[in-house]
Amino acid sequence: MTPLAEQLLALGLDGSPVIAESAEFDGDRFSPTKTLARLRVWLAHYERELEEMYAFAAKWKAPIEEVTDKHDEYREAAARLRVGIALLEAHIATRDGA
């Protein structure tokens, strides 16, 4: 098991691959706060892209499948990011006693 995997397991955050893929660190320690900020940036990116896809499809009255082949990929990525964000928010709230 890698040091990151061990840290995520110890924190109860091993259930979301997106957290491990986007992990940020303070030195050699996993940083939930920095990782949460990074996931939020990525989610905003995917949400913007999806909005642009929908707007383009609406403008041309075209099915989304004819507009882009990335719709499902981006929608799934956004969903994974939301799960990771929810896990990190819950962890941080519990850690901070909120």
pLDDT tens per residue across span 17-45? 999 999 999 999 999 999 999 999 999 99
Residue spans of the domains in the chain: they are 3-95
Mean pLDDT across 51-73: 96
pLDDT at 98 over 80: no
pTM of this structure: 0.91
Question: Around Cβ 5, how many Cβ atoms within 10 Å?
Answer: 11
